[in-house]
Amino acid sequence: MPEPTTPSAAAPTVTPPGAEHRLVDVPGGRIHLVEQGTGPLVLMVHGFPESWYSWRHQLPALAAAGYRAVAVDVRGYGRSSKPPAVEDYRMLAHVADNVGVVHALGEERATIVGHDWGSNIAAASALLRPDIFTAAALLSVPYAPRGGPRPTEAFAHIGGDEEFYVSYFQTPGRAEAEIEPDVRGWLAGFYTGISGDTVPPEGEGSLFFVAPGGRLRDRFPAGRLPAWLSEADLDHYAGEFERTGTTGALNRYRNVDRDWADLAAWDGAPLIQPSLFIGGALDASLAWMSDAVRNFPTTLPGLVSSHILEGCGHWVQQERADEVNEILTRWLDALLPTR
């Protein structure tokens, strides 16, 4: 287990040159975003446990390519609203936030790009509001339509005697008690443990399962940070969660059953807009969801291309920024050739 860490003395420069921070009103509160460039709107949605900052490499690249690149803090994160009730973080609320952001920016439609939970949010946004979200790029987590048994029932059977991390996150306060006494150390271990260049060897136990009476961080690797994560980057992420706490972020996991009920009308529904998938070959998400990738011809009939990056872990747009920027830009240019 990593020892508690302290911030570096130098404060990070968190905003790419030329990008601007904004707060916009949406029906559920306010959303903080960072935008750069002009042209067709590309809305980028982060996952857990991150922020708009996970798109810091994509903002200037997409702006330079002729797009209005916008990265949000998902509700519960950063400077965005943090409503108190667990149910305020259901998928329908996140979709409504994205619709509200598009309207607040004076736009009628957007291409949406998501990573990790942001991939699920992007897919749901495109599924429920195809009139607004005309294409979707999904990073790390493949699209899987609503279906099957109630999610918490399914998760309870994963891992045998050990507890799957999504189940571990279900009880309010439980994961917070592990994370918040040492936010920076916990984040360092979590990021490191599923990065391509620092993922633990097979046989050391999965990071995503908790032994009886244990904690998730018990299996975090110690040692160097992954190459994509500087001390200043870690300072930024830790600073955000030190200020906001982690409950809003964790509440996304606590709505999986509610989402399953809310989206019953879309059971098995394919995502028909033009789409893109980018994943890391060393990302455990691809192993768990290999069936979802195999089902892309049915579930993503508009899939333009799928890219599995060798040697890459979970944090694809940060681990392989240049490669992801090139893939995204080429896909966008093919979608919008007359912009």
Mean pLDDT of 19-28: 96
**Catalytic center residues:** 116, 314
Q: Collapsing DSSP states into helix, strand and coil, what is residue 116? A: coil
- Is the per-residue pLDDT at 242 higher than 50? yes
Mean pLDDT of 166-188: 97
- Is the per-residue pLDDT at 223 higher than 60? yes
Q: State in Å, rounded, how far the first CA of the chain is from the last one.
A: 51
53: closest CA among 324, 278, 234?
A: 234
Mean pLDDT of 133-157: 95
Q: Give 179-206 pLDDT, tens digit per residue.
A: 999 999 999 999 999 999 998 876 555 8
Contact status, residue 71 vs residue 34, Cβ threshold 8 Å: yes
pLDDT level of residue 324 (50, 70, 90 thresholds): very high
Give me the pLDDT at residue 339, please: 62
What mean pLDDT is reported for the chain? 93
Mean pLDDT of 244-273: 98
Bridge partners of 32? Answer: 23
Q: Give 68-115 pLDDT, tens digit per residue.
A: 999 999 999 999 999 999 999 999 999 999 999 999 999 999 999 999
Give me the pLDDT at residue 133, please: 98
Q: Which two tokens stand for residue 195?
A: 């990065």
CA atoms of 247 and 154, how far apart (whole Å): 23
Q: Worst-scoring range by mean pLDDT, 122-131, 299-308, 329-338?
A: 329-338
- Is the per-residue pLDDT at 6 higher than 60? no
- Is the per-residue pLDDT at 337 higher than 80? no
Domains of the chain: 20-335 (3.40.50.1820)
- H/E stretch holding 184 reads helix 183-193
Give me the pLDDT at residue 14, please: 77
- Is the per-residue pLDDT at 131 higher than 80? yes
